[in-house]
Amino acid sequence: MTPEELREAGVRLVGLVLVDNAGIARMKCVPIDRFARACERGIGWSSVWGLSLGDDSFAHDPGLYSPSGDVRLRADPDAAVAVGCAPGWGWAPIDHHEQSGEPWAGCQRHFLRRMVSEAEAAGIELMAAWELEFSVGRDERGEFVPLHRGPGYGAATFGETGGFLLALADALQQSGISAEQVHVEYADGQMEISLPPADALRACDTSILARHVIRWVAAQQGLRASFSPRVVAGSVGNGSHIHLSVWRDGVNRFAGGGGQEGLHPDGEQFVAGMLRHLPALTALGAPTALSYERLQPSHWAGVYACWGNENREAALRLEGAGGASSATSANVEWMSVDGAANPYLVTGALIAAGLDGLAERLELAPAVSEDPADLSGADLAALGIVRLPEALEAAAEAFAASSMVRSAMGDYLHDRVAAVRRAEAATADGLDEETLVANYRWRY
Ligand code: GLU
Ligand code: MG
């Protein structure tokens, strides 16, 4: 929406929102009469936020940390909306720019744009959709008191959850988001929304706006919503799965082809590329120490680097490839991602990995239909299936060592994300799950 359209919609204050390398959504606000200027010139922001952690401290990496340096946050009017459920409020994502006007090398949203352009140069178009799980409840003296106590997907929760779900559906609609589903999930207090497929940048923007709306709706009802990977120790975690489909010449490359499970040859290569790089990408999808409590085998969180048709234990699940509408619906869902992940980094890196598979004409391993946790070590080895990193330290090192990710992100962004992950791991060192859960619960 243009500044004029926002004003006509009654917007008086616009929240300019970015997501940092630790996955924290941060916001500065401008009155509506400053919004046009915020789109053109931007507003000031210290470049040190490229090193911020989930607890608001900073990675003090020698050579990277400096108190000097300022970038401009430019609001993107194409993605700006009036947040209908919060009258008077507007919302817009930002791009980071240098003072000179050039894109900032640390900008996550620019990184995604570049990967989309590289895909286009290879003749590929992408559609993406996010599926967000979150926990709704009250904070009573540091304890999470869930809005409902199941059963999972339980109609029996209607008395507790019906009012929230209806307010949420209305609020999303009023903010221009047409959710595909809104429902109660499996764990106590857990809910989920499925967002509509869109181009990759728009899908990521929408995933951030949707969280903004969810938090608002929860607060109006005296509740809080958490997207933290785990909200209660030992419980089922909150995933934030990304669905991606790959298109060439208007044809979905994940359906109607002659390869495995109906994939086209380039669809197979793209999936093979994603699989090859998943260990390095885990630090993006699972960015906190707490993420690794969620990443347990046999919890539908995709902890093995394999793929399978509708297999919820494979890190990459081929979804929607079976039915009559597979030509439009077939997609690959990365299951390992949680709500602490930066959507732009995840999506950009996943595209880069897929493009690497195309460039290298990688051969795709056979699809897996069972739970890989039930396979013997010998069977896993024979099928070439590896367990994804089991702790943040290992994930951070796999990420830091990846030349594919480094060349896709550029040194500046890659160095900062690696520094943030290492510092995040050091911050959490020695803390038990109870402490981690409490520390992160209301950060994401
Ligand atoms: N809660 C699971 C997770 O941690 C996902 C369950 C599902 O597939 O809906 O990702
Ligand atoms: Mg779910």
- Ligand 1 contacts CB of residue 133 (under 6 A): yes
pLDDT of residue 94: 98
- In single-letter form, the type of residue at position 66 comes to S
pLDDT of residue 51: 98
- Write down the mean pLDDT value for the chain: 97
Q: Whose CA is nearest to atom 8 of ligand 1?
A: 300
What is the arithmetic mean of pLDDT over 208-224?
A: 98
- Ligand 1 contacts CB of residue 339 (under 6 A): no
Long-range contacts formed by 59-65: CB under 8 A, 24+ apart: 59/416, 59/419, 59/420, 59/422, 59/423, 59/424, 60/423, 61/415, 61/419, 61/423, 64/415, 64/416, 64/419
φ/ψ (deg, to 5) at 85: -80, -15
What is the pLDDT confidence band of residue 353, given thresholds at 50, 70 and 90? Answer: very high
Q: What separation in Å is there between the alpha carbon of 216 and the centre of ligand 2?
A: 21
- Ligand 1 contacts CB of residue 310 (under 6 A): no
Nearest ligand 1 atom, CA 294: 4
Angstrom CA distances, 436 to 139, 142, 319, 392, 425, stand at 16, 13, 33, 13, 11
- Ligand 1 contacts CB of residue 236 (under 6 A): yes
pLDDT one-digit tens code per residue, 54-68: 999 999 999 999 999
- Ligand 1 contacts CB of residue 126 (under 6 A): no
What is the arithmetic mean of pLDDT over 342-348?
A: 98
What is the arithmetic mean of pLDDT over 81-109?
A: 97
- Ligand 1 contacts CB of residue 372 (under 6 A): no
pLDDT of residue 202: 98
- Ligand 1 contacts CB of residue 257 (under 6 A): no
pLDDT of residue 349: 98
What is the arithmetic mean of pLDDT over 347-366?
A: 98
> CA–CA separation, 331 vs 242, rounded Å?
10
Q: What separation in Å is there between the alpha carbon of 299 and the centre of ligand 1?
A: 7
What is the pLDDT confidence band of residue 319, given thresholds at 50, 70 and 90? Answer: very high
Looking at residue 344, what DSSP letter applies? Answer: H
pLDDT one-digit tens code per residue, 13-47: 999 999 999 999 999 999 999 999 999 999 999 99
- Ligand 1 contacts CB of residue 243 (under 6 A): no
Q: What separation in Å is there between the alpha carbon of 112 and the centre of ligand 1?
A: 25
Nearest ligand 1 atom, CA 186: 1
> CA–CA separation, 27 vs 109, rounded Å?
15
pLDDT of residue 285: 98
What is the pLDDT confidence band of residue 167, given thresholds at 50, 70 and 90? Answer: very high
pLDDT one-digit tens code per residue, 382-399: 999 999 999 999 999 999
Asked whether 347 and 118 are in contact (CB, 8 A), the reply is no
Q: Whose CA is nearest to atom 10 of ligand 1?
A: 239
Q: Enter the tokens of residue 66.
A: 């400096």
What is the pLDDT confidence band of residue 172, given thresholds at 50, 70 and 90? Answer: very high
Q: Whose CA is nearest to atom 7 of ligand 1?
A: 300
- Please give the model's pTM, rounded to 2 decimal places: 0.98
Q: Assess whether the previous peptide bond of 151 is cis (omega < 30° from 0).
A: yes
- In single-letter form, the type of residue at position 266 comes to D
pLDDT of residue 26: 98
Nearest ligand 1 atom, CA 229: 4
Q: What separation in Å is there between the alpha carbon of 104 and the centre of ligand 2?
A: 35
pLDDT of residue 299: 94
Report the residue among 185, 303, 346 best suited for mutation to probe ligand 1: largest number of ligand atoms under 8 A from its CB.
185
- Ligand 1 contacts CB of residue 300 (under 6 A): yes
pLDDT of residue 126: 98
Beta strand ranges found along 61-124 (DSSP E): 70-75, 81-82, 89-97
Q: What separation in Å is there between the alpha carbon of 313 and the centre of ligand 2?
A: 13
Report the residue among 190, 241, 293, 346 best suited for mutation to probe ligand 1: largest number of ligand atoms under 8 A from its CB.
241
